[in-house]
Amino acid sequence: MMGLQVNPKARALIFDLDGTLSDSLPVHMATWNKLGSSIGFIFEERLVYEMTGMPTIAFAERIIEENGLRLSPGELVRLKQEAFWEAVHLVKPVELVVEIVKAHHGLLPMAVGTGASRRSATLQLNELELTPYFDYIITADDVTRHKPHPDTFLECARLMKVNPSDCQVFEDGILGMEAARSAGMMITDVRPYINYGSWALS
């Protein structure tokens, strides 16, 4: 297998955040599990694979429905986000992807297209010291329709003033890849190249 690389035809690069730039999924899992222990639900790991790329509110609605919880999706989102923000110092960079970002900074326009909230994205990118590398950051707060709809990536292309077909998307989520495909963009699945870490909250 050849290494992770930029397509020679790409005129702009778009990166997902969680699981692509940021090895944050273990922290998300740990915060969901910690929250489940305190509220009374078990976070099913399958949700990560089924729903990665969707905003937290979608996870909250699914968890409430499946567990019959008596709280609003908005309240569950607030609790989850606060727990994650407190643990954001635990996120690590996905080095192979970050290397591509740093190697192409100033050579190609680059954007982040994520299903995370603006605050979660900002905190993670600042923690990873990656904010200065990106021309634009499009979050769940910036679009109405989230992945698997193409709106997040299309907005990145629009702001970078590059045709969607000339954009290369780096993704780890099935829904994100579907979004990139719907946008008519080049897609790179980063998962085969990466050994993700794991750790737990104390």
Active site residues: 16
Residues in the chain: 202
**Cβ count within 10 A of residue 103:** 12
Distances (CA, A) of 62 to 18, 21, 51, 77, 176: 19, 26, 10, 12, 19
Torsion angles phi and psi, residue 67, rounded to 5: -110, 0
Are the C-beta atoms of residues 176 and 146 closer than 8 Å to each other? no
Distance between CA atoms of residues 169 and 171, nearest Å: 6
Question: What span, in angstroms and rounded, lies between the C-alpha atoms of 111 and 160?
Answer: 8
Tokens of 121: 């994205």
Q: How far apart are CA 153 and CA 114, in angstroms?
A: 9
**What whole-number distance in Å separates Cα of residue 143 and Cα of residue 148?**
12
Structure tokens given for 173: 């989520």
**What is the Cα–Cα distance from 16 to 111, expressed in whole angstroms?**
9
